[in-house]
Structures are given as C-alpha cells and as structure tokens.
C-alpha cells in the first residue's frame, strides 16, 4: 500500500478536487457500499482525510492510512498509520471493513484481502469502491484517451499534475473486480458499476 502516499503533498486539496472530478457524486458512491455493511466497529482502510466519516453514521470507526499527512486531516476518533498488507490488529477485530479508491494503490491486493479476512469477525463484511476502466474494449479505449488529457489538466489546477497523471495510469493496473476478487478468501457477494461509462466499481464481500 506504499503508493497510497503519492497524494500526501496535496492532502488538503485532494478531497475538493475529487468531488469536482466525480461531479459531486463521490459520497453517494461510497454510500452504495457503506449502507450494505453491518453496524459496529468498522475499519476505514486507506481512510485518507476521512471523507467517508459523514457516511458511517454511528459506527465505531478506526481510520488507517499509509500517509500521516492525509491522516492528520481525518477527524475519526481512532487513527493509525499502517498499510493494508500488514494490518496492526488482532484476529476478528472488526464487524466491517470499508475501502474507497485504494485498491489501485496496494502493493498486493491478495495480501490485503487475506488481512481483511483475518481481522473480520465471522459474518463480517467488506465493501470496496474503486476506479477502473469501463467494460468493453471500445469504451475502455475512449475512457483511456479521455483521462490521459482530463486528469493531468485537473491536477494542474491544484499543482498536482504528476499525481493525477499517476491516477490516469493506475486505472489500467487491475482487471475488472469480478476477476480481481475471484480468488479472495472472502466470498464475493456482489459487484456493481457507477459513474459515467461505469468507470467506478463497487464490491461487497463476506466472511463466513
């Protein structure tokens, strides 16, 4: 999860630009997963500045992120600087795990999924929201051409051209969620698509 620190230098501007790029839908997209997670203690994996806190309701939130700069802006009651591949918690510590716009930045999705499985209680669930390419080769090609221009230009408005050029490249890092999560120790319950052309995906996973 070391790449998650790539936006540390723009921590104070990160959420504002993401809201603009998502046409104000970033919180609604988070909610599609959070609303399906059980109540109780929840791990916000890759919490960043705590953008999801207002959606968590009265859950007991533990925020984890590799970037101390981002985490310093998070108002969650419990915060830890750490990576998803080595979670600093005992087994069966959480009722739910939530992660938004993080999986593209992981060093190892497989290791992180095994760690999520370990810290979830039996019957616990994980919700993931992330970005990728739309389904279909033509749609993916059109989307790729668009983000190669739009994302670096958007990043320039907050002095972060390279960070958002990285975001463009990261959209090709993984296969669709149905493939990416197929070998997870957690059961894949559902996947869905959001946003223009379906470039945002969501997934719900459960521990037996």
pLDDT of 54? 93
Burial status of residue 148 (CB atoms within 10 A of its CB: 0-12, 13-18, 19 or more): middle
The total of structural domains in the chain comes to 1
E strand spans, the chain: 41-45, 60-65, 78-81, 94-100, 120-131, 187-194, 200-206
Please check whether residue 20 lies inside any domain of the structure.
Answer: no
**98 has which bridge partners?**
44, 127
Q: Indicate the DSSP class of residue 152.
A: H
pLDDT of 178? 95
Least confident residue range of 105-109, 169-173, 174-178? 169-173
Check which CATH number belongs to the domain holding 37 and give it.
3.40.50.150
Region 24-53 average pLDDT: 94
Please check whether residue 109 lies inside any domain of the structure.
Answer: yes
| Whether pLDDT at 23 is above 90 | no
| Residue, of 19 and 188, whose pLDDT is higher | 188
- In this prediction, residue 5 has a pLDDT band, given cuts at 50, 70 and 90, of very low
pLDDT of 64? 98
Q: Indicate the DSSP class of residue 171.
A: T
Q: Which domain holds residue 90?
A: 2-13+25-133+173-206
Please check whether residue 201 lies inside any domain of the structure.
Answer: yes
Average pLDDT, the chain: 86
Q: What is the pTM of this model?
A: 0.83
Please check whether residue 166 lies inside any domain of the structure.
Answer: no
């Amino acid at each position: 999860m070391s790449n998650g620190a790539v936006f540390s230098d723009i921590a104070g501007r990160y959420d504002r630009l993401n809201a603009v790029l998502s046409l104000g839908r970033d919180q609604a997209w988070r909610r599609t997963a959070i609303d399906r997670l059980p109540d109780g203690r929840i791990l916000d994996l890759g919490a960043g500045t705590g953008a999801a806190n207002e959606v968590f309701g009265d859950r007991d939130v533990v925020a984890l992120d590799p970037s101390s700069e981002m985490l310093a802006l998070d108002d969650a009651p419990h915060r830890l600087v750490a990576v998803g591949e080595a979670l600093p918690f005992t087994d069966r510590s959480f009722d739910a795990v939530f992660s938004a716009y993080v999986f593209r930045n992981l060093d190892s999705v497989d290791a992180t999924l095994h760690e999520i499985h370990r810290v979830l209680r039996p019957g616990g669930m994980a919700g993931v929201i992330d970005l990728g390419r739309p389904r279909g080769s033509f749609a993916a090609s059109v989307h790729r051409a668009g983000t190669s221009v739009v994302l670096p230009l958007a990043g320039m408005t907050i002095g972060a051209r390279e960070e958002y050029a990285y975001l463009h490249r990261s959209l090709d890092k993984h296969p669709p969620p149905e493939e990416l999560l197929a070998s997870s120790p957690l059961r894949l319950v559902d996947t869905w698509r959001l946003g223009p052309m379906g470039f945002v995906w969501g997934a719900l996973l459960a521990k037996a």
